[in-house]
Chains A and B, each alone.
Chain A
């Protein structure tokens, strides 16, 4: 199994959920190695794991011991992935997730996954936490700054009365 094979596989892993699913598939394959029937290796390989994983495993006619080693390598590769925590205002479509993952991976310089949380309260933009650094680029933050500067004027303009 080449490093390109691993990279190809890891390119299917954008988020923490993807990472967990792949880990479960690896674990399931490993467990199935010495089983037969519905729980057996061939059945699991054909039905229960993603195509990219199955292709890596079956790219050559290999023994189960080698499969075991490859699964270990995959598990180690997954262990080296770092999570970027990102909070968004709404659930992003898969295409946007991939776009974000690609962008962050490019600039972070490491194998990363996105740990996405949804908080509609931030309105828009994103909160980002990475390697102990944190930044709020949400619309809420911009809104609050704007409100601090112009809020009173806006309330006065729209005659919203507050009661103490």
Chain B
């Protein structure tokens, strides 16, 4: 019988210990809940802070990115200019080389052409001169023939014309008596015009 009280005591003790443990657990649970809320709040705050920091950082990065972009643009522009100038220089050099090449080629061809002309000119000139001389002689002969015929024709016409005019002026052909008559007539006219006066 002894055992029952002991058991009861024991059970009471056990119960008490359980209750204590339970109470402590409840307190811990409350603490944990409180701590959880605090932790959550803290977490929110921290998250907000992190977010804010992240945003600031992002903005900073963006600003930096903008600055970098400006610098980069300048660099790019400079580089582009350099490359452009380099290409332009290359292009100019290439053009000069091409021009020089073309000039050299043209001069060479001209020189060859000139040499060929000089070579050919002699024979061509001889041919042309011979042909011209031949034509000239032929033309000269024709002209001479024509001239002779024409002069004969004109002479005939002039003789007739002179005779015609002479007859109109003198009324007769010229002989010594006519000459004498004309001279004496001239003297008489001179006298009338007081040449001897």
Segment of B9-17, B67-75, B137-145, B152-160 in the binding face: B152-160
Interface digits, A68-97 against B, CB 8 Å rule (1 contact, 0 not)?
A: 000000000000000000001110110010
Is the contact region of chain A dominated by helix, strand, or loop, or is it mixed? mixed
Nearest opposing residue in chain B for A147, CB measure: B165
Chain A residues, Cβ within 8 Å of B189: 135, 137
* B173 CB → nearest A CB, Å: 11
- In Å, the complex CA distance between A159 and B153 comes to 11
Against A, the Cβ 8 Å flags (1 = close, 0 = not) of B121-149 are 00000000000000000000000000000
Which of B31-39, B41-49, B178-186 participates in binding chain A? B178-186
> A109 — which chain B residues lie within 8 A by C-beta?
196
Residues of A within 8 A of B (CB): 88-90, 92-93, 96, 99-100, 103-104, 107-109, 123-126, 128, 130, 133-135, 137-139, 142-143, 146-147, 150, 154, 158-160
Q: With A139-B169, A143-B169, A146-B169 as known contacts, state yes or no: A125 contacts B186, CB within 8 Å.
A: yes
A139 touching B182 by the CB < 8 A rule? yes
Report the count of interface residues on B (CB-CB < 8 A): 28
Any A CB within 8 A of the CB of B187: yes
Residues on A with C-beta less than 8 A from B179 are 88-90, 92, 124
Provide the bound-state CA to CA distance between A160 and B196, in Å. Answer: 42
How far apart are A102's CB and chain B's nearest CB, in angstroms?
Answer: 11
Verify A104–B196 contact, CB threshold 8 A: yes
Residues of B within 8 A of A139 (CB): 169-170, 182
Q: Tell me the smallest distance from the CB of B179 to a CB of chain A, in Å.
A: 6
Asked if B183 and A88 make an inter-chain contact with CB atoms under 8 angstroms apart, the answer reads yes
Contacts of A99 in B (CB 8 A): 180, 184
Q: When A107-B196, A160-B158 are in contact, do A126 and B169 touch as well, CB less than 8 Å?
A: no
Bound-complex Cα distance A57 to B158 (A) = 58
A-B contact pairs, 16 of them (CB 8 A): A93-B176, A103-B187, A104-B196, A108-B196, A124-B174, A124-B178, A133-B194, A134-B195, A135-B190, A135-B195, A137-B185, A139-B182, A143-B165, A146-B165, A160-B158, A160-B161
Determine whether B120 belongs to the interface, using a CB cutoff of 8 Å to chain A.
no
CB distance from A93 to the nearest CB of B (A): 8
